[in-house]
Structures are given as structure tokens and as C-alpha cells.
Chains A and B, each alone.
Chain A
Amino acid sequence: MEKRKIKQNPRVWPQGIKIGLIGGIVEVLLALIGMVEAFSQRDIIGQVISMGHTLLLLVAVFVGYLAAKRTARSEPFGVVVHSSLSGLILGGLLALLVIGGSLVNLRKVFINASPALFKLLTFDWTIGASMVLLLGAGTLSGLLGGLFYLRPGLTRRVWITSLGWVVMVGVLQDLLRPTFALWGPLAIINEWLFSANGLTLQGAGSLFILVALVTTFWAKRGRAIQTGFRGLSAARQRGLRITGYILLLSLLLILPQVLGLFLSEVLTIVGLYILLGLGLNIVVGYAGLLDLGYVAFFAIGAYTLAVLTSPELGFFHLSFWGALPFVIVMGVLSGVLLGIPVLKMRGDYLAIATLGFGEIIRILVLSDFLRPWLGGAQGVGKIPKASIGSVEFATPQEIYYLILAGCFLVGFISWRLRDSRLGRAWMAVREDEDVAQAMGVNLVATKLLAFATGAGFSALSGAIFASKLGSVYPHSFNVMISINILCVIIVGGMGSIPGVVVGAMALVGLPELLREFAEYRLLVYGAVLVGMMLLRPEGLWPEAVRRRELRQGESIEKESESSSGPQTE
């Protein structure tokens, strides 16, 4: 034991300093890229703290927490020293930034190093006073993080969840306010919770207490409720489950009426990505064929609908429903057609060839050469809306139902396909192509069917997209869409249907909600992608098999723990 302590001590100090330095660099970067200043427009709690300061404080506290975790383990004195030290260093780096800013004009290079930024950092105090302020605030937040580390697990969780909710409600205030306002009697919440900018003090306090109570209750009683559910008879469990599904379904059905126009629009976008994700999930998730040109089929679907229905081009005058079968046939055909040349390619060769196809389609559509037929850069307009009888799917709230129906259809198909003979063949190909072939899987047919099915789904969503917008433009179909869809299914959990839904909500829905911070949306998106993959490589809602594969070590440990548990007792 003693030997270990001696060995550890010299390494502990640099650790704390290193974490402080990294945290400081992150804070300086946040300030210089303008995030702090932009976020300061918005108050989390009105007149008390802005989003920008919240961001800085959260990073500092987190650094203190990390320093405590990495160094002293559970020895209170060490924790306090190390976390305050890292906080001090972090504050020091910010102070350096302020000094640097006052000495030279950083703005020549860093356009966001504006006077407003320095005012935010120093509260307009003199240099000396602001140095003391920054160093003190850094040390205090670091210390806070360290103390936080020393609290027991439950307290930590309750604090994190409640603070998280307060911050989240503060960030999303502009969305929540009109939504609450829609609900007649519930509009009172608005007055209690929100001031003109940010939460009110009493609103934040009561929200915090409410969430804290719920979290504590769930932590204490949640397991009892779960075991209670398991204890019920099979029939009653099933009954409860079905009730749950029905509740969920009815919730989905009334959702757009409840949420209002903007949120419904977000929902339709998420829905389209779910449709696309389900299609790509078959190609990448089931069959393991890395397709980076998936947007090609989306474009083909949209343009087929446009050509068949738009009076602007004037070739055909079908209705949406009349054109839909052709769209899907066209999608499937193009899936096969583009699938044939890439049959022999593997892995990344396949990825880049499909990416090439996606680009070729977009460039062709954009070119003047095909302009008489496809409209060139101006796109095609006047695409009719879908309608059933006298009901027209025009506003986002109505199109939502169209997309919901599509999602259910496609979700059902891919759910049934997964365990079918074909689905098992796909997974065999995914795991090992050569072995699958040796086992009698017809590689050509299996791969082509994967491409065709995925392409059909994609074309369907393309058609819905075109009728939703009423027009199609080549610029809507660039590589980024393919990449985003791939991110959705991998972040959700490859091969998992609920994963696609969760992934689309997380990667498409959340950024849409934060549209007002457009400049930093993709930055955060990128950081979240990296963080997600580092912390949860199997995705948010992985397929059971994959989770077991990726978490093999841990689950074996857990199993042995649980199996040895009763024996020792």
C-alpha cells in the first residue's frame, strides 16, 4: 500500500494542474469563438445569471469535479486542494486572456474578442479587481466541484438532474412559452415560471425543488415499482403494456394539436429523418453495407414525384397518390441499378463509391444539361399536396400524420424483415461476408435486396418531403444529408429500430429546437457526436446483441457479480 502511495503522489499534482490547464483552454476557446458573448443575450434566471456565465461556471465546476475524481479519490483534504488548484489555474488562464486583450488588439485575428466579451468576463471592473474576481471565481467553482464529488451518489444525481432541468427550461424558454400559452388554463405557468428574459427566481426555485423531489422519489421507490410490475401475472403485465402502447399512440396522434405550429414542423423534420434512418438502417445496420450516398434515393424519390405531378414541368399531371407507386418503383429500381456496380466492393471502397453516386445524382440534377427535364438550379415548384378526400395535407400539423403513417408502415416492415429469413441473411453478411456465402447465402440477391429496400424507403420519404415543401431544389440533397442520417442511426444504435427514433430526436430534433443559436449549433453537434462515441459507442438504444458484444467485459463482470452474490449471502 505504502509503495503505491509514494508512486502515486508525484503523479497526482501534474494531473490536477493538467486538468486545470485543459479546462482553462476550453474556457478561453469558448470565449474566443464567441459562444460566451452570444449566449449572454439570454438569461437563464432573469437578471441573475445569463447563459454565457452559466456555461463558464459549469465548465469550471466540472473541471473541479474531474480533478477531484482523477487525483485524490476519497481523501477529503486532497480533493479540496486539487480541485481548488485546478479551478485557480482555469481562472488564471481566463485572467491571462483578459490581460492579453487589454494589452493588444486581439480582434485583428479573433473577431469575437470584442470589448463586449471582456466586459462580460470582468463586469467592467478595473484590471486588478477583475483578476482577483476571475481567480477567486475559478477557485470557488473548482472547490464546489470538489465538494460535489465528496457528496454521496444520490445527492449528486438529484442535484445534476434538477440543475439540468432548470438550465434546459431556461434555454428552451422561447419554445415553452408559446406552447404553454396554447393551453388556456395552463398559461398561468408562464407567469409563474418566466420573466421577460429568463426564468423568474421563484420559478427556477420551484422547478428545482419539484424535479429534485421527483428524482429522489424515483431513486428510492423506482426499483420497488419495477419489481412490483414484474411480480404481476403475465396477463396483467401484457394488459398494462398494451395500455401503455395505446396511451403512446394516442399521445402521438394528438401531439401536433398540443404543440403548435413550430414544434409540429420540428416533428415533421424528425419524422422524415426517422423514415430515412429506418431505410439506411436496413442497408448499414442490418446488412452492414456502408452507404454514404443514401441521399441519392431521397433525391430520386423527390424528383420522380416532382416530374410526375408538377404542372410547372407539364409532362404528367398525376396526383400525389397516383405518383407514389411510381416513386417507390423508381426508388427500388435505382437501388438495384446503383447496387450492381458496387456489389464487389467492400468497406470503405463501397462507402466512397456510393458517396460518388450521391454526388453524381446531385450534380446531374443541378446541371444546365438536364435543365429542361429537371429544372436545374431553380428546382421544380408547384408540387401538389397529398390529399385524402377533402382533407389536404398542407400545414405541418397535417403533414405530420402523413409522416407518422409512413413511419409506422416502414417501421413495421423493417421490424418484420429483421427476423425473417432475409433479415438473418443480411446480418450474416454483416458479420462475415465470406462465411455467409459459404453457408449458402446468395450474396448478390441479399445485397441487392438490402439496397433496394433501403432505396424504396428513402424514395418514399423523398416524395413526402417534396410534397411537404411543394418544391424541390438540388441543394436540398447534398452529402451532409447522407452523413447526418448515418450519424442518426449510429448514435441511436446500429440495427435498432427504436434507436433510429431516439437518434433522430437527439440529432435532428434538438438542433432544430436550438435554431436561434444557429452559429454554434453544428459546433455543439460535432462535440456531442465525438463525446457520444467516446462514452457510449454502442449508441443510445442499441440492439441487444450489439450491446452485449460491445460491453462484453462489463457484462461478464456483472454476471459473475450477480451469480456470486447470492452464494456469499
Chain B
Amino acid sequence: MLQRWRERITPTDIIMWSIGGAILALMIWGATATLTMGRYSSHHWFDFVIFGLAQGSIYALIAMGYTMVYGILRMINFAHSEVFMGGPYTAYFVAAAFYSSGFLDRQPIISLLVIFIVSMATSTLIAVLLERIAYRPLRNAPRLVPLITAIGASFFLQYTFRGLYGSGFQAYPVVKILEGEWLLGAFRILRFQAVVIVAAALLMAALYSFVQRTRVGKAMRAVSEDKDIAWLMGIDIDRMIVTTFVIGGMAAGAAGVLYAVMFKQVHFFMGFIPGIKAFTAAVLGGIGNIPGAMLGGIFLGLFESVGPSLFLDGLGIVAPYQLKDAIAFIMLVLVLIFRPTGLLGERLAVKKA
């Protein structure tokens, strides 16, 4: 037994494991140092965790779109970040009109609902057009070709929106009922963060149960499993792919409004960073796997917000918050070293992506 083990371990494995081990050791050391230092109280940690959860659930919603498209078409939909941007940016004008007419303050729930619907509809429209124009003709092209198309579409959409709505930051109107705090035992929680978390959780649950429980969802899963067999079973492949883009677009549009509620501004370039993060989250969870995307998103959000203070402060690194993205990506590489197919993904990577 031991003999076979020794034969199978190569020098590269040893190097990889030692890199991973070293990073882990550093993390543990940093964490214990920070915790013993006692600079942050439990309230701080609670704030970090809530912020991380809120941001993570936004990532998770976007990541669902990435992962579903990947599952069905085996392509990185690079333009998904623009699907995410287009919705809230368009809905901004509705929100601004509501705000200036006073409707937003009088009927906040209804106006928020309308804003959500406008944003989701726009994002869905963009996603469907994208599929029809840019991806459908390339169904059978080599793997990198649709990737380049997606990158091109992403540029095109970004600058189209810039041309349409202008290049400045637009401040999203403040919804009064979402300001302030709620008390949760001894802890305070910012209202909008709580709302973001709850709304994202509800949406994810709804979309997931749609995919898991309904007939259409079943057909979608069948198509992502094996297109040819699904076709033989009488499933309309094109329609299922469009449905996938619709669901991804809806999730992204909703995530966009949540993002705007949280950061209170929209911009034509706002999709880029969350898009990359969400894609990272999808890969982290195992791409093609919907629960994996959710898990990956929340995991990433948490690490980004808790990580810098937890691991880096104790190591005596200045301005640790600048390194939050580096932490997120190091986590990603670390997870992929030990699990090359992500947290929950197994089958896909073996099947040759």
C-alpha cells in the first residue's frame, strides 16, 4: 500500500502540496495572531460576516448565470457581466423618475418591485439577444471561438450603454425604508444588507427549485447532460438554451438591483469586477453545478470581507484591505490545488471541458 503511494507521488505533487501547506500555515498563523491581538470586537466580526454574506449572495446570483450557461453550452459567457450591468442601469431611470415624483417615498415597496421588474426584463432581453446573435451561430465552433465572441460582445455592450446613458456614475436614489438598522439580539444589522441577503436567498431558492422541480427545469438539465440524447427524447434544444439564458438574465438583473441598493450607484463599467468575481465563484464551486455556484459565491464574498482583517492584520501587513481581491484569488488557487474541479464539481472536468 505504502509502496504504491510512494510511486504515485511525483515531485510536482510535493511542490504543490507544500505551496498549499505553506499558504494554509500562513493563514492559520495570521488568524491566531489577529485573534490574540484583539483589535476587532465581536461586533466587528459580525459586520464583516454580514457584509460578506450580502456581497457573496450577489456574486452567487450572477454566478448562477455563468454556471448554467457553462453547463449547457460549455462556454464562458464573458458578456454576462454586461447582462448584469444593463438591467440596473436601465432601471435607474425608472428609479430616478419615481424619486423625483415622490412616488418612491410614498409607495417604496411597489416602486422597488417595478424597478426589479424593469431591471430583470432588460437583463433578460440582453441575454436572449446575445444568445441569438452572438452565440447560436457558433454552437459547433471550437471552444475558444465563442469565448472571443463573448469578449467582443462584452466590449460592445459596455460601450453601447456608455453611449446611450453617458459615462458618468449615476447615484441610485436612496430608498428610505432600507436605511437604518435592525437589532438582532446584541448585534446591529444594516437594513439594506439584510434585505439584500434575504432577497437573494429567496430568488436563488426560487430559481433553483424551478430548475430542480419543474418539467422545463428537468428538460434543461437533460440538455446540459447530453444534447443529442435530449434531442432524441423530443426536447427542443434551442428553446432550452434560450430558457437558460432567460433564467441567467433574470438572476443577473435582480442581482444588479441588489448591487445598486448596496452601493448606491451605477456605471457602464460596473459589471466587470463583479462579473469576474462571480465567474471565479462559479469555478470555485465547480462550474456547471448550480448549488456549487451559490456556495462559491457566498464563500468568496465571505473571504473577501473577513479575510484581509483575519489573515493579514496579524501578519503585520499594512493596509490589508487593498489585498482583498488577492485573497479571493489565492483562495481560488488553493481550492483548485486540492480539488482541481472545484468544491462541488466532479464529473465535468473529467469529461474534458
Contact = CB atoms under 8 A, between A and B. Distances in A.
A110 B164 contact: yes
B252 interface: no
20 contacts: A33-B159, A109-B165, A110-B164, A112-B163, A112-B164, A284-B144, A340-B16, A341-B19, A345-B349, A348-B70, A355-B280, A357-B329, A368-B319, A444-B10, A526-B158, A526-B159, A530-B152, A530-B156, A537-B138, A537-B141
B287 interface: yes
B34 to A, nearest CB: 16
A487 B12 contact: no
Nearest to A344: B340
B23 to A, nearest CB: 10
Taking residues whose C-beta sits less than 8 angstroms from the other chain, chain A's interface range is 35 or more
Nearest to A369: B317
Contacts of B143: 347
A341 B23 CA distance: 13
Nearest to B337: A341
Interface in A74-117: 108-112
Interface stretch (A127-135, A172-180, A517-525): A517-525
Given A369-B323, A494-B144, A526-B153, A533 B138 contact: yes
Nearest to A293: B329
B165 A363 contact: no
A523 B320 CA distance: 36
Given A348-B70, A356-B332, A359-B326, 4 more contacts: A519-B159, A520-B163, A523-B159, A526-B159
A444 B12 contact: yes
B16 A341 contact: yes
B40 interface: no
B266 to A, nearest CB: 13
Interface of B: 10, 12, 15-16, 19, 70, 76, 93, 133-134, 137-138, 141-146, 148-149, 151-160, 162-167, 276, 279-280, 283, 287, 317-320, 322-323, 325-326, 329-330, 332-333, 336-337, 340-342, 349, 352-353
A360 B326 contact: yes
Contacts of A351: 76
B93 A109 contact: yes
A23 interface: no
Contacts of B317: 369
A532 B159 CA distance: 18
B152 A527 contact: yes
Contact of A111 (B149, B166, B318, B336): B166
A529 B151 contact: yes
Given A349-B340, A369-B323, A527 B156 contact: yes
Contacts of B12: 340, 343, 444
B319 A367 contact: yes
Contact of A491 (B93, B148, B165): B148
Contacts of B152: 487, 525-530, 532-533
A345 B284 CA distance: 12
Interface string A487-528: 100110010000000000000000000000001101101111
B138 A534 contact: yes
Nearest to A290: B144
Q: Which of B166, B330, B340 has the most CB of A within 10 A?
A: B340
A537 B142 contact: yes
A34 interface: yes
